[in-house]
Every structure is written in structure tokens, then in C-alpha cells.
């Protein structure tokens, strides 16, 4: 949980001498505008963009002797040497430094605590200057989602010095039409139009409550003038789209408040694996044999998780190139835009997946494949919006294309080739957990499998997931993969038997015992009902047992064999 990670960094800051201190108040006729801190606090624009938070300390404030702490929650710092914090006139601090928790390869939200040495503070006005200093890929800055300065006497009120340039918008038809044209049809920097990377009509921007300031700065990044950028804002404001989400809240974040694509918010992200186990009365810990159909009672849409889903910024493609799009993909995209039917959505997804595979296989370009599938996911998010996020199917009617899974799979295939992109296993797991949330399988569909749970378990292990997370994935996956169209595969190597190996290798001894006992009980039910096992099924079971049995006590192994059906006794011959 990147956003829940905390760190402390002690700042031994030396105040520069021989120059006027920024902490000295300016003359009255030069006093900057000062307002209460409003969140999010956006530091956006070209490199050099900066904004100032101020606070006042009395001359007898204990912080001048003992220091203070600055707790920050920051969104969208992806690497070092691009964002800084300067406290008064001390040397700027690199917020992306590896000693701090704020830089996240995938741009996730992170929390940290900076301990400020007393030598950095002054009596009177103190200033915290946050700056975006170096262009990183296509990023236009970062956001503070929370900031709290505390001394021994408690929290200190924070102020904002200086005002953003006001955004001038219009309700005039001409301005709205110009903005629509700029957004959907025109490019100033030779790249794709705005409507290529976003929902075609821009509906995602009001839906996730992008600020007018952020839209203007981003449009100017793409070389529109300020006036043209303000016309784009006028157009977006004219759209009949409710502002339900937040630009920094992960779409579909599971939890009780997850009622639309806006998700349940960051508050729904659980702090750790133990909290997740408690949400489920400890069943995923596998301290006993769990019923095969246990997952039938779980609503994955409302089940809070210790994983932050990808924010909307991680849905948007980093780049798009015309040569990625062949005639078939362009045609299916146009058909979906004209008629948002289920058939058109599936055809568009199929073409995007096919073209992404070609980019990866023919050119070895995993980044292009990922961005093409992000592009498809954004368009299909808009398709889901039109189906109705508030409906019981959450915008994913039976047979809906599994677009979160496909983005995650592109990351997964890169990871299998040693390409850890944007966090590797943790990024894969975040996208696939998102698929759990919106459509985990036959429990909410017509039997078309949107997830390969063998891969999901592998990704969870690579991501360092805890016992409860691994156990939950196994409980959900084994149940889903014995339902719907998968019922016929129960006795083959394609059924739940393939989910045993990673559990038998990665779990502690007690959990291995309970996982195999649960499986063998279901195997018994299957065989007693007239089922038959293929040779490859036997082979899968034998491999899983051999890989994990050594950690299980010999007496327990004997007990497991005694309870197993006769048909699989030979498969459990390892570890006599």
C-alpha cells in the first residue's frame, strides 16, 4: 500500500547567510495574497512551476527549539530530481529522494513524515516552497492531498501565499465550439488530440473533477495558448457529466462507498494484510479448511482491500503513435464511438488486444502494448459509463470486455521477460484486483472467464502479497474456475488443480495443509459424482504436492493421504 507507507527524514538545514531571508515579510504594498490551505494543492505547469505554503510561529514557540514534523500525502511523483521542497532559505529537498517514500514508479499516492530541525525555522512567517523542477516524460507536476505541520503545542494552521492565475471561461456557443474542436480535432504539438488519450468527448475530465487550472496547464503543455486552453475548459464545463470522482481517488477503489466509477476513496484502502483478513473473519488465512463455495458470499465490489487501484493518471496512455493503429482497430474504434453496443465493445477490445500482441511480438515493445491497452481501457471506461456504473452490473454487463485484466496482462508479460515497468508485480496485481472489483468471473457473468487465476496468484507472489491476500485470491479463483463454462474442466489440468502449485510453494506449512485438504475434499465430491481425472490433471497435482509437501509435518502428510480419494493416492507419493 504505497500511500500508507510512512517515513521520517530529519532535516539538518543550514540557513544561508548574506542574503535576505524569504521568511522576512515583504513590505505591506507587496504582500502576497494569503488564503487558508485548500486541498488538493496543485503544483502544475512547466518545469519551474512552484507554489508556497506558509505558517507563522511565535517567538516563544517550542518548535524554534525542538523542531516540527511535516506530514505529507503526495500524488504523482515518479522519480528523483524533479520535485523539491524548500523550507525558508535552506537548500531544497528532493522529494523524490530514495530516503523518502514519495517517489512511486507507478505514480501512486504516498504518505511520509518529514522531521524539520529547529535550525530551519524562524520566528514569524515561515515558507514551504514546493516546486516542479524537471520535465519527466509527459508529467506536468504533482499534488499535495494532505499536509499537516505539528509542533509540541499541536497542529499549526497552514496558509497559501500567492494566487493562481484565474481561468477565464465562457458559456458562449462560439467558445464552447472552439473548445470542442481543440479537444477532439486539433493538435498543437504533433501528437494525438486530447480526445484520443481521454474519453473521446472528454467526459472523464469533469467526471473525475479535474480542476480548471489543471486542464489549462495540461493543454498549454501540449502547446495550446492560454486562451485556447480556456476554451477547452469552457467546452468541458458544458458537458452534462456529474462530478462524481476525484482526480486522485483511484477509480472503482473497493469499499462500502464504491457505488460508481468514483470508487470508495483512499480511506477505503486497508493498511495491511491483517486488516484485510479481519474484513473476512480470517477465512483467507487458511487456519482451517474453508468451504469450497466460501467466495459465493463475497461482494468484491464492496470488499475493502489493502491495494490501491490505479489512479486515472495510470489509466491514461503515456503516449500514442499513429503507426500503432491498423485499419481494423481504427474501424472498430469508430464503430464503438458511433454505437456503444456490447458487440462493438467486444470487437474493439479484441482488436486492441490483437494489435498490442503484434507490437510486443514483432517489435518487442512492451511499453507500446501497455499504452495501447490503456487507450482501449479509457475508451471502454466511457462505454461502461454509458451502460451505467450505478446499475447492478456496475457498467460491466454479462460478457463485457475485461479491459482492466488486459492492461494488467500486458504488464505481466513484460514482467515475465524481466521488464519491471512501473512497479512490476504490484502494478499487475493492482490492475487484476480492479478486475476482481468490477467482474471477477462467473459470479457476475455468463461464464466467460475474465481472469486467469493461475497468473493472478503468480503476480500476487511477485508483488509480495500477504497470506490473506494470497488466500483470498485462491478461494475466489478456485471457486470461479469450477463454475460456468469451467465446470467441464474440473478433472483436467485446466481446472482448479493448476492453482495449487504457487500456494504449496509460497504459503507456510499450516496453510499448505489446509489448501490441499480443501482441494482434495472437492476432488472427492467431483469423483463421487461420476467425474474422471485426466493424466495431465494427475501430473499437476503430483507436481504441486512434491513442491510443497516437505514443509508439512510427516504425521500430517499421512493424514492427508488417508483422507484423499483412492484415485489420487499415487499423486501424493512424494515426501513419504
Chain-wide mean pLDDT for the chain?
91
Class of domain 2-161: mainly beta
Question: DSSP for 20-62?
Answer: --TTSPPPGGGPPPEEE--SSEEEESSTT-EEEEEEEE-TT-T
Has residue 298 got a pLDDT over 50? yes
User: Which residues are bridge partners to 44 per DSSP?
Assistant: 141
Q: Which of 515, 423, 526, 412 is nearest to 467 (CA)?
A: 515
Summarize pLDDT for 491-534 with one digit per residue, the tens.
999 999 999 999 999 999 999 999 999 999 999 999 999 999 99
Q: Please, which residues have CB within 8 angstroms of residue 567's CB and are 6 or more apart in sequence?
A: 527, 533
* Ranges of each domain in the chain: 2-161, 173-238, 249-269+304-439, 273-293+467-576
The percentage of residues in the chain with a pLDDT greater than 90, rounded to a whole number, is: 83
Has residue 32 got a pLDDT over 90? no
Q: What is the mean pLDDT of residues 558-568?
A: 97
| pLDDT grade for 363, boundaries at 50, 70 and 90 | confident
Has residue 25 got a pLDDT over 80? no
- 179, with CB counted inside 10 A (0-12, 13-18, 19+), is buried
Q: What is the mean pLDDT of residues 141-162?
A: 96
Q: What is the mean pLDDT of residues 457-473?
A: 95
Q: How many residues does the chain have?
A: 576
For residue 449, what pLDDT is reported?
Answer: 57
453-462 helix and 467-480 helix, angle to the nearest 10 degrees: 170
Question: DSSP for 297-327?
Answer: G--TTT---SSPPPPHHHHS-S---GGG--H
Count of beta carbons in the 10 Å neighbourhood of residue 465: 24
| pLDDT grade for 106, boundaries at 50, 70 and 90 | confident
Beta strands 141-151 and 159-161 are unpaired
For residue 322, what pLDDT is reported?
Answer: 94
Q: What is the mean pLDDT of residues 440-458?
A: 70
Has residue 12 got a pLDDT over 70? no
Q: Which of 86, 113, 87 is nearest to 8 (CA)?
A: 113
For residue 138, what pLDDT is reported?
Answer: 79
275 three-class SS: helix
Q: What is the mean pLDDT of residues 296-311?
A: 94
For residue 356, what pLDDT is reported?
Answer: 96
CA distance linking residue 265 with residue 242, whole number of Å: 17
Q: What is the mean pLDDT of residues 269-289?
A: 94
Summarize pLDDT for 395-408 with one digit per residue, the tens.
999 889 999 999 99
Has residue 15 got a pLDDT over 70? no
Has residue 172 got a pLDDT over 90? yes
| pLDDT grade for 451, boundaries at 50, 70 and 90 | confident
- For cell 511523483, what's the residue? 77
- 38, with CB counted inside 10 A (0-12, 13-18, 19+), is exposed
Helix, strand and coil percent figures for the chain, each rounded to 5 = 45, 10, 45
- Any idea which of 7-21, 45-59, 437-451 has the lowest mean pLDDT? 7-21
C-alpha 241 chain-centroid distance: 23
For residue 166, what pLDDT is reported?
Answer: 95
CA distances from 364 to 6, 137, 190, 367, 368 (A): 37, 21, 25, 9, 9
Count of beta carbons in the 10 Å neighbourhood of residue 92: 14
pLDDT top residue among 372 and 22? 372
Q: What is the mean pLDDT of residues 121-139?
A: 94
User: Which residues are bridge partners to 10 per DSSP?
Assistant: 115
Has residue 170 got a pLDDT over 90? yes
Q: Which of 393, 428, 435, 437 is nearest to 410 (CA)?
A: 428
| pLDDT grade for 362, boundaries at 50, 70 and 90 | confident
pLDDT top residue among 483 and 354? 354
| pLDDT grade for 1, boundaries at 50, 70 and 90 | very low
Q: Which of 368, 143, 384 is nearest to 262 (CA)?
A: 384
For residue 107, what pLDDT is reported?
Answer: 83
Peptide bond connecting 379 to the previous residue in cis, omega within 30 degrees of 0:
no
Has residue 288 got a pLDDT over 60? yes
For residue 26, what pLDDT is reported?
Answer: 46
Has residue 286 got a pLDDT over 80? yes
CA distance linking residue 389 with residue 394, whole number of Å: 4
CA distance linking residue 284 with residue 271, whole number of Å: 17
The answer to whether 306 and 273 have CB atoms below 8 angstroms apart is yes
- Return the HEC string of 166-233: CCCCCCCHHHHHHHHHHHHCCCCCCCCCHHHHCCCCCCHHHHCCCCHHHHHHHHHHCCCCHHHHHHHH
Has residue 431 got a pLDDT over 80? yes
- For cell 498543437, what's the residue? 188
CA distance linking residue 64 with residue 415, whole number of Å: 49
Q: Kindly report the backbone phi and psi dihedral angles of residue 86, in degrees, each rounded to the nearest multiple of 5, phi listed first.
A: -115, 125
> Which cell numbers hold the place of 177?
465550439
* Angle CA 134–196–200, to nearest 5: 125
Has residue 423 got a pLDDT over 90? no
Which strand ranges, in their side-by-side order, compose the sheet holding 124-132? 34-36, 159-161, 50-57, 124-132, 83-87, 93-94
Amino acid at each position: 500500500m504505497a500511500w500508507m507507507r510512512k517515513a521520517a527524514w530529519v532535516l539538518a538545514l543550514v540557513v544561508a547567510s548574506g542574503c535576505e531571508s524569504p521568511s522576512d515579510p515583504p513590505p505591506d504594498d507587496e504582500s502576497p495574497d494569503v488564503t487558508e490551505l485548500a486541498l488538493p494543492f496543485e503544483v502544475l505547469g512547466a518545469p519551474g512551476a512552484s507554489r508556497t505554503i506558509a505558517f507563522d510561529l511565535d517567538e516563544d514557540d517550542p518548535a524554534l527549539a525542538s523542531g516540527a514534523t511535516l506530514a505529507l500525502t503526495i500524488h504523482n511523483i515518479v522519480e528523483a530530481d524533479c520535485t523539491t521542497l524548500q523550507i525558508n532559505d535552506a537548500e531544497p529537498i528532493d522529494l523524490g529522494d530514495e530516503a523518502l517514500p514519495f517517489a512511486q514508479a507507478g505514480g501512486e499516492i504516498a504518505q511520509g513524515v518529514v522531521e524539520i530541525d529547529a535550525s530551519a525555522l524562524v520566528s514569524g512567517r515561515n515558507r514551504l516552497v514546493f516546486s516542479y523542477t524537471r520535465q519527466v516524460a509527459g508529467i506536468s507536476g504533482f499534488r499535495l492531498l494532505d499536509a499537516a505541520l505539528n509542533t509540541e503545542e499541536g497542529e499549526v494552521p497552514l496558509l497559501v501565499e500567492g494566487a493562481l492565475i484565474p481561468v477565464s471561461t465562457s458559456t458562449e456557443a462560439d467558445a464552447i465550439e472552439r473548445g470542442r474542436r481543440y479537444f477532439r480535432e486539433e493538435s498543437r504539438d504533433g501528437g494525438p488530440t486530447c480526445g484520443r488519450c481521454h474519453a473521446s468527448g472528454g467526459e472523464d475530465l469533469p467526471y473525475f473533477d479535474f480542476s480548471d487550472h489543471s486542464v489549462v496547464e495540461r493543454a498549454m503543455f501540449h502547446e495550446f495558448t492560454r486562451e485556447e486552453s480556456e476554451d477547452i475548459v469552457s467546452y468541458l464545463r458544458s458537458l452534462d457529466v456529474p462530478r462524481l470522482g476525484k482526480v486522485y481517488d483511484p477509480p472503482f477503489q473497493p469499499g462500502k462507498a464504491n457505488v460508481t466509477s468514483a470508487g470508495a476513496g483512499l480511506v477505503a484502502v486497508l493498511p495491511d494484510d491483517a486488516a484485510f483478513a479481519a474484513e473476512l473473519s480470517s477465512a483467507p488465512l487458511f487456519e482451517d479448511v474453508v468451504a469450497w463455495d466460501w467466495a459465493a458470499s463475497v461482494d468484491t465490489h464492496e470488499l475493502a482491500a489493502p491495494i490501491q487501484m490505479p489512479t486515472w493518471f495510470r489509466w491514461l496512455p503515456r503516449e500514442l503513435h499513429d503507426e500503432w493503429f491498423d485499419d481494423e482497430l481504427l474501424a472498430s474504434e469508430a464503430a464503438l464511438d458511433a454505437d456503444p453496443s456490447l458487440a462493438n465493445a467486444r470487437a474493439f477490445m479484441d482488436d486492441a488486444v490483437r494489435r498490442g500482441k503484434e507490437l510486443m511480438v514483432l517489435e518487442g515493445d512492451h511499453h507500446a502494448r501497455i499504452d495501447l491497452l490503456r487507450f482501449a481501457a479509457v475508451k471502454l471506461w466511457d462505454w461502461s459509463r454509458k451502460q451505467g456504473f450505478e446499475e447492478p452490473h456496475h457498467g460491466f454487463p454479462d460478457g463485457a470486455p475485461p479491459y482492466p485484466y488486459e492492461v494488467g496482462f500486458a504488464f505481466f508479460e513484460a514482467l515475465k521477460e524481466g521488464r519491471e515497468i512501473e512497479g512490476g508485480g504490484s502494478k499487475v496485481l493492482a490492475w487484476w484486483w480492479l478486475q476482481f472489483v468490477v467482474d471477477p468471473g462467473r459470479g457476475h457473468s455468463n461464464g466467460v472467464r475474465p481472469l486467469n487465476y493461475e497468473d493472478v496468484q503468480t503476480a500476487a507472489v511477485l508483488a509480495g502479497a500477504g497470506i490473506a491476500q494470497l488466500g483470498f485470491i485462491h478461494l475466489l479463483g478456485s471457486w470461479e474456475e469450477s463454475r460456468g463454462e469451467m465446470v467441464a474442466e474440473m478433472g483436467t489440468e485446466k481446472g482448479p488443480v493448476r492453482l495449487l502449485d504457487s500456494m504449496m510453494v509460497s504459503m507456510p506449512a499450516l496453510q499448505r495443509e489446509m489448501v490441499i485438504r480443501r482441494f482434495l475434499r472437492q476432488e472427492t465430491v467431483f469423483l463421487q459424482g461420476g467425474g474422471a481425472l485426466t493424466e495431465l490433471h494427475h501430473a499437476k497435482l503430483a507436481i504441486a504436492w512434491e513442491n510443497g509437501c516437505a514443509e508439512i509435518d510427516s504425521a500430517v502428510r499421512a493424514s492427508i493421504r488417508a483422507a484423499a480419494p483412492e484415485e489420487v493416492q499415487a499423486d501424493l507419493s512424494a515426501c513419504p
